[in-house]
């Protein structure tokens, strides 16, 4: 009886665990123009309380970060990221080192001059 109960519990737990997958909502060019998706979908996901993840391509380095504090004003989204240890990318050597005693706090938006992709994590 105990074995059956444990087996049933294990199957239930395993079947209900679904890995969260990011879903692309909005892609903007480095000119802050819409490439794909819609701002309305991004704003709706924010209002539904979904976690927002931002991918940014600076040409010589790419970043992926979770948005910490998000604001909507007008038709634009603004996102702060939690502070991180600052980095020093070296495009010539293709390396990244940490900058001692320096913090980076990012502030990005749908108006930022970077290629960016905005994801909701379901």
pLDDT tens-digit map of 35-83: 999 999 999 999 999 999 999 999 999 999 999 999 999 999 999 999 9
Tell me, yes or no, whether 87 lies in a domain. Answer: yes
Rounded CA separation 16/73 (Å) = 37
| pLDDT confidence of residue 122 | 84
pLDDT tens-digit map of 71-97: 999 999 999 999 999 999 999 999 999
Rounded CA separation 103/122 (Å) = 30
pTM above 0.85, yes or no: no
Domain region containing 52? 20-121
Q: Does residue 13 sit in helix, strand or coil?
A: helix
Rounded CA separation 121/21 (Å) = 6
Over residues 23-32, mean pLDDT? 97
> What is the number of structural domains in the chain?
1
| pLDDT confidence of residue 12 | 52
Q: Are 26 and 118 in contact (CB under 8 A)?
A: yes
Tell me, yes or no, whether 37 lies in a domain. Answer: yes
């Amino acid at each position: 009886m105990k074995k059956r109960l444990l087996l049933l519990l294990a199957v239930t737990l395993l079947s209900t665990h679904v890995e969260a997958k990011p879903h692309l909502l909005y892609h903007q060019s480095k000119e802050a123009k819409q490439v794909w998706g819609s701002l309305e979908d991004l704003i709706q996901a924010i209002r539904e309380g979904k976690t927002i993840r931002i991918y940014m391509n600076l040409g010589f380095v790419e970043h992926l970060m979770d948005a910490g504090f998000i604001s909507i004003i007008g038709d634009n989204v603004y996102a702060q990221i939690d502070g991180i240890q600052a980095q020093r990318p070296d495009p010539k050597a293709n390396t990244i080192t940490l900058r001692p005693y320096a913090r980076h706090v990012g502030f990005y938006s749908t108006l930022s001059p970077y290629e960016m992709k905005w994801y909701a994590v379901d």
